[in-house]
Structure 1
Amino acid sequence: MKIENAVIITNKTRLESLIERFNTKAQAKFYIEHSGGNFSDYEQEHFVFKTSLSAVVEKLSVHFKCKVIDRSYLPNYIFTEKDLPVVLGQDGLVANTAKYVNGLPIFAINPDDSRYDGILLPHNINNFEDQITRIVHDRFVYDDITMAKATLNDGQTLLAFNDFFIGPASHISARYNIKIGNENENQSSSGIIVSTGAGSTGWLSSVCNQVSRMSETETEIDMDWDEDQLFFVVREPFESKHSKANIVSGYIDDAHPLIVESFMPQKGVIFSDGIEKDYLNFNSGAIVKIGLADSKAHIIV
C-alpha cells in the first residue's frame, strides 16, 4: 500500500522540559546558571534540534502529509499501513516507537550527530533526503530486529525493543518463582533483566561487566539484532532457607520461554526499555511468560 502520511515522532528537548518545569526560559536560565551549569549548551541543543526538525518537515512535505507528535502520544496513536513513522531524536526514541507501530518500517534520523551516537539512527540531517526518494518509489530496505514480549496470566501484554526489567518498583527485594525449561526455583533478588540482541550492549552488558571484573573471567553476550532468542540474567540473587540461586542466566527462545510467578504483595512491576511509566503491575498472583514477540521491528537502512 502506498505511503501517504509521514508521522514524525519527537521528544521534548532538555530546554523545553526546563521551561515546562520553571514556567519561563528566564527562570530556567537563572536556575541552571545559579547552579553553575552551562545554559548555552541547552540553548544550542534546542536550536540544532529545531533546525533539523524544520528541514525534515520541509523535505518530507514534498511527498507526504506530515504530522509531528510527541513521544507521550505513542501509546494512543493508531498507525496504519499508509503511515511512515519517522523518528527524529535519540536512540531510545527508536526503541520506544518500535513497540507501537505494528511492524511498520521506521525511518530513523539523527538530528545532531555531533551529540548523539545514533546506533539505531542510520540517517542524519545531511543524508536523509536521499532515502526519501527510495521510500517514495518503494525501493528501500530495512533491518529486522527481534523484540521481546511479556504476557501476563490476565492477558495483558507488553513489548520490549531492548530489555525488560522484572522486579520491585523500589529498593526492596523481588520475591518470585522462576522457571525455564524443566528447572524452577523460588528466588529473592534485585530483579531480572531480559535482553534482546539490540539491547545486549546496554543494561545487560553492565551486569556482565560486573561479573567479569569480580570473577576475572570474560563474560560477554554476543547476539545479533535479528537473532530469534533473548537472554536473561538475575541481579544479585540471595540464597537463604526460602530462596535459591541456581538459575541465574540463560537463553530464551520459542521452545524455552521464561516463566515468572510473583510473590510480591505490592510494588512488583515489569517495565520495558528503561521507561518506568511503560509498565505492568506484577504483584502476588501474577504469572508472566517472557518470549519472542510475534513480529520484528523494522528500521530502514
Structure 2
Amino acid sequence: MNFERAIIIREKTRLEQLIERFNSKAQAKFYIERSGGDFNFYEIENEKFYESLNEVQKSISKHLKLKIIYRSFLPTYIFTENDLIVVLGQDGLVANTAKYVNGFPILGVNPDTERYDGILLKHTPSDMNNLIKEVVKGVFETKKVTMAKAELNDGQTLLAFNDFYIGADSHISSRYEIEFKGKKEKQSSSGIIVSTGAGSTGWLSSIFNMSHNIYGFNTIGENEHQSQINWEDEKLIFVVREPFLSKVTQTDIGFGVITKRQTLKIESNMPRKGIIFSDGIESDFLNFNSGSKVEIGIAEEKANLII
C-alpha cells in the first residue's frame, strides 16, 4: 500500500468532557472535589494522553502528512486506501473505528499502558518511530478480524466489531419473533446478544459467567463453558438473555452459532423502544420497532489490524 498521510483517530479525554459539561476547568474541579473525587486523577490522565499524542505526531510527521479526527466524525469521514489509520485511545475506539474504514489497515496505539488493557492496541508511542518507517515501506503484517452485520428489511445496515444487542432500549421486556435453523418462535426476554470472536471475551463471556454461577462449575464440563472463539473464525455466537416462558412466548431457541450459511432472523413485536446497537455504543444504532425485520450474519468486510 502507498500511504500518503496518517489519520489519527482519538476521543476527548475525560477531563475535556468534564470541562465541556461544567463550562470551565475550575467549575469541573469544584464539582468533583465537592463530591469527594480526586480531580488530580483526571489531570494526570489528560497529561499522559497528550504526551502520547505529541510523541505519536512527532514520529508520524517525519514520514507522512497527518490529520486528527474525533470519534464522532467517523460515520461521515471518507477514508481512502492511501490513509494510514492510527487509533490512539482505548480498545473500544479500535472497535468503533473498524466499522467505518472499509477494511483498510488500522494501527492501534495504547496511550496509557497503566490504565488501558490494550488487547486491540498492540503498540505504544515509543514504538512509533521505528514502526512507521516499516509500515511506510509496506513491511508489516495484519490480523483479520471477522465482523457481524445486521441488515433490516428496509435496507439499513450496521456492522459490529465486538457484538450486537437486539432488544428494548430500557429495562422492559424485549418482544420479538426469532428464527434459526428453520425453527421459529415468539419470545419475551432481556434481549439478544450476538458476538464476534473479538467480542467473545467481553459481554458474551459475562453471560457465560452468570450461567456458570447459577449451575456451578462442577456440573459443567471444562469444554462446555468456553465462550471464546478466534477473532478470524467465520462464525458468531448468539445468546438470548433471560427468556421468559408463558402461554404465548417460548424459550427453545436460546443459543446458536451463526455461519456464512446459517443466519439469525428476528422480527420486532415492540411498538416502540426497540433498538439494535453495536459494540456498546448506544448512539450507534438502528431503530427496531414493530414491522422491522433483521437478519444477522457475517459481514463481508473484515477489520484489518496491523500487528
Pick the TM interval, shorter chain.
over 0.9
Q: Is the 8 A contact 1:87 1:108 kept in 2?
A: yes
Offset of residue 220 of structure 1: 2.0
Distance 1:117 1:172 in 2: 33
Q: Residue in 1 aligned with 2:165?
A: 165
Q: Which residue of 1 aligns with 2:74?
A: 74
Structure 2 equivalent of residue 120 of structure 1:
120
The 8 Å contact of residues 90 and 110 in structure 1, kept in 2 or not, is answered as: yes
SS in structure 1 of the partner of residue 296 of structure 2: strand
My pick for the range that moved more, 267-276 or 219-228, is: 219-228
Alignment of 1:217-236 (within 5 A): 217=217, 218=220, 219-236=225-242
With 124-133 and 281-290 compared, the bigger mean Cα shift is at 124-133
| Structure 2: tracts of 5 or more residues without a match | none
Alpha-carbon displacement from aligned partner over 1:270-296 (angstroms, at most 9, x marks no partner):
000000000000001111000001121
**Contact 2:55-2:126 within 8 A present in 1 as well:** no
CA distance in 2, matches of 1:200, 1:253: 15
What is the match of residue 88 of structure 1? 88
The alpha carbon displacement at 1:2 in A equals 1.0
Task: Report SS of the residue matched to 2:126.
Answer: coil
Deviation string 1:97-153 (CA, Å, 9 cap, x unpaired) is 000000000011000101111000000122222211111100111101000000000
Greater than 6 Å deviation, 4+ residue runs: none
Q: What SS class does the counterpart of residue 118 from structure 1 fall into?
A: coil
1:106 aligns with 106
> 1:276 — aligned with what?
282
What corresponds to 1:33 in structure 2? 33
Letter in 2 for 1:238: F
Secondary structure at the residue paired with 1:127? Answer: helix
Q: Is the 8 A contact 2:110 2:123 kept in 1?
A: yes
2:174·2:270 contact (CA, 8 Å) conserved in 1? yes
Q: Secondary structure at the match of 1:295?
A: strand
**1:5-24 maps to which residues of 2 (within 5 A)?**
5-24=5-24
Aligned partners of 2:246, 2:130: CA distance in 1, in Å? 60
TM-score (norm 2): 0.97
Query: Is residue 163–residue 194 contact of structure 1 (8 Å, CA) maintained in 2?
Result: yes
**Partner amino acid for 2:86?**
V
Q: Tell me the number of residue pairs that the alignment of Structure 1 and Structure 2 aligns.
A: 301
Structure 1 equivalent of residue 245 of structure 2: 239
For residue 184 of structure 1, what is the aligned residue in structure 2?
184
Q: 1:256 aligned to 2:262? A: yes
Root mean square deviation, CA, Å? 0.8
1:243 maps to amino acid? T
Letter in 1 for 2:9: I
The residue type paired with residue 95 of structure 2 is A
Query: In the alignment, is the contact (CA less than 8 A) between 1:149 and 1:157 conserved in 2?
Result: yes
% identical aligned pairs:
59
State the TM-score, normalizing by the size of structure 1: 0.99
1:203 shift after superposition: 0.5
* Partners of 2:88 and 2:111 within 8 A in 1: yes
Give the secondary structure class of the aligned counterpart of 2:251.
coil
Q: Is the 8 A contact 1:196 1:231 kept in 2?
A: yes
Moved more, 190-199 or 124-133: 124-133
